[in-house]
Amino acid sequence: MQGELVFTTEYTGYEESLTDPSYKGQILMFTYPLIGNYGVSGETFQSDGMKAEGLVVREACMHPSHFRSKRSIYEFLCDEGKSGIQGVDTRMLTIKTREYGTMRAALIVGRDDGLEAVRLAREQPDISKLDLISQVTCKKPFRIAGNGPRRDLHFVLLDFGVKRNILKSLASRGIDITVVPAGTSTKEIIDLEPDALFLSNGPGDPMQAVNGVQVVKDLTGSMPIFGVCLGHQIISLALGARTYKLKFGHRGANQPVKDLDSGVVYITSQNHGFAVDGETVDGKEAEVTQINANDNTVEGLAHKYLDIICVQYHPEAHPGPWDTEKRFFDKVLEIAGKAKKIGLTV
């Protein structure tokens, strides 16, 4: 099993993280020493199964205790056909990752061949060269019918590996949603007559999302456009900014984000290895709205004159805090509602 080794600081939410499509192509290591103590229920999956390539923990709990638990973390890995390893000094590996950055890695099951593991790790290409989006996007469009006071609003969501809770956050507000594959053309999206475009999270380098960038360029100014995580990076690229790979990324449920307008600091859930270069944001057209309080990286972007907002973190949480769920998705609803009222969509 090969992948880029990354770490997350979450001590709960392993079920959501392992099934998050944004972890495609990566081996996930938890810094918290005990994982699996409440088992696996399947009720909080963020996709149809495990998307991380493998799991690294200090200790895996083989006998979980929770009323919702249906199987152990070990049984889950077996059912998914994925590899995991325990008994690892995850503290040492985390310190090494912080010092040297994310590293290519490999897990071998059934034999102890360190040289072979090193060979497998070295032969894999850099994650920036991999097309991971095509492996996690939906194969064909599907609809989530609106059932609420704003079912008159129709969103098209470009699926780069969408988490289920993003869909739940939108659907809970009654929005009618059509989810389409990442390769869907601008014309196909226009033919669906959306009131807004929403770009999801997803794995890998945003430069791989060539079609997504083009769609945003084509539709900028014709309808509201929103994005989360990879979607935020794609929108930023379409608006002329550049992205770069972080040394070891932001992954966890305790990332502080400062809102530059209000000065409020929110605690957020994050999972990304790339970021938007704030120095390349065109200040005449767009503005950075939020930054990471730890390293000042870009966490939010908005167009100064058009209905475009996006965030780097995960406001839908799961796992993680709910500080920004209402703030972000209510703002999305408000912007799309106003645009529809005055007829600003194609």
Q: Specify whether 138 is catalytic.
A: no
Q: Rounded to 5, what percent of the chain is helix, strand, coil?
A: 30, 30, 40
Identify the CA nearest to 234 among candidates 306, 181, 287, 182. Answer: 182
Q: What residues form DSSP beta bridges with 71?
A: 40
Catalytic residue, from 232, 250, 303, 314: name it. Answer: 314
Q: Which of 104, 58, 55, 105 is nearest to 81 (CA)?
A: 55
Nearest-angstrom CA–CA distance, 261 and 75: 47
Active-site option among 10, 53, 316, 325: 316
Q: Are 5 and 102 in contact (CB under 8 A)?
A: yes
Q: Which of 163, 250, 243 is nearest to 208 (CA)?
A: 243
Cα 319 to Cα 84: distance, rounded to the nearest angstrom: 21
In the residue annotation, 10 being an active-site residue is answered as no
- Geometric angle at alpha carbon 328, from 288 and 172, rounded to 5°: 155
Separation CA 229–CA 231 (nearest Å): 5
Which helix (H) or strand (E) covers residue 94, if one does? helix 90-100
Active site residue 229: yes
Active-site position among 229, 272, 303, 310: 229
CB 74 within 8 A of CB 50: no
Taking the C-alpha atoms of residue 120 and residue 333, their distance in angstroms, rounded to an integer, is 47
Q: Are 299 and 257 contacting, i.e. CB atoms less than 8 angstroms apart?
A: yes
Beta bridge partners of 144: 177
Torsion of CA 283, 287, 293, 296, to 10 degrees: -30
Q: What is the 3-state secondary structure (H, E, C) of 24-61?
A: ECEEEEECCCEECCCCECCCCCCCCCCCECEEECCEEC
Residues involved in catalysis: 229, 314, 316
